[in-house]
Structure 1
Amino acid sequence: MAATASGVFRRTAIERSDQRVSWERTDQAFFSSGACHVLAWTCRDFYPDQDIDLAAMYLGEFERPLHVYARWGPWAFDASGWNPEAELLQVNSDFECLPVREVETISAGLREFCEKHVHRQPHQYWADPTERARAYVSRYAPPWL
């Protein structure tokens, strides 16, 4: 699957206000916008013997990251599957019409990251998305296999 901008799946007002409505979106939509950070942490945990980092993408002058994803070398994993990181950055920049200001390697744990960036922790969703994320990660063979 080609890299797709996370903004393509931006949540509507009702999806932002009703966790169940947000949960009922397709997996790609759910993990593109609203739970990308859960998917990224799950991907890293899914391959504990690989050197997978987590990254936060900042566009323009926004204080909070637009998107979070896992990365291994030149590869990035998000709701679009594995794609070259450069492509993932470009499609998001093009879609938002904003330059990538920074890609930050995340060293914090999931809880700390969520608290700092006002993201939901898994237990704060309509249902814990961790198993859904594991199933999603398992659908995509990493480029090193």
Structure 2
Amino acid sequence: MAAEAAGAYRRTPIERADQRISWNRTDQAFFAAGACHILAWVCRASYPDRPIEIAGVRLAGDWQVFHVYALWDGWAFDHSGWNAEPDLLETNTTFEGRPLDSVKIVESLAEFCETHHSRMPHQYWQDPLPRARDYVSRYTPPWA
């Protein structure tokens, strides 16, 4: 699957206000907007023998990350599966119509959630970890 912009799946106001409605979106929409950080950390945990990093996308010069993905050897994993990181960044830049920055995230999931006002797994309507593990398993990693 080719990289798709995370912004194409942004949550509506009702999806932002109601966790159950947000949960009921398709897996791709759920992991593109609202749980991308969960997917990235689960991807890293799924391949403990690989040095998978966590990265985020933000508007150039902004501090707030709006999309998170896993990164390994130039390959990015997000709601679109595995794509070359430059393709993922170009797709999001084109969609947003503004320059973006990619930043490495070195914090733990808990620290990231606190800093960026994101939900921890226990704060979702249901546990997103099994759903994320299933989603990761659908995609063949580039080293396979």
The two structures share one fold, judged by TM-score above 0.5: yes
Summarize deviations over 1:4-59 as a string: whole Å, max 9, x none. 00000000011000000000000000000000000000000000000110001112
SS in 1 for 2:103: strand
Q: How does 1:42-121 map to 2 (within 5 A)?
A: 42-100=42-100, 102-121=101-120
Distance in 2, matches of 1:86 and 1:60, equals 16
Distance in 2, matches of 1:62 and 1:19, equals 27
**Aligned-residue RMSD, C-alpha:** 0.8
Of 82-91 and 61-70, the range deviating more from structure 2:
61-70
Distance in 1, matches of 2:58 and 2:15, equals 23
Of 79-88 and 63-72, the range deviating more from structure 2:
63-72
Distance in 2, matches of 1:130 and 1:21, equals 18
Distance in 2, matches of 1:45 and 1:18, equals 28
State the TM-score, normalized to the length of structure 2: 0.97
In structure 1, the residue matched to 2:143 is 144
Distance in 1, matches of 2:64 and 2:43, equals 21
In structure 1, the residue matched to 2:41 is 41
Distance in 1, matches of 2:103 and 2:63, equals 12
Gaps of 5+ in 2: none
Distance in 2, matches of 1:54 and 1:16, equals 24
SS in 1 for 2:55: strand
State the TM-score, normalized to the length of structure 1: 0.97
Percent sequence identity over aligned pairs: 58
Q: CA deviation at 1:63?
A: 2.8
In structure 2, the residue matched to 1:122 is 121
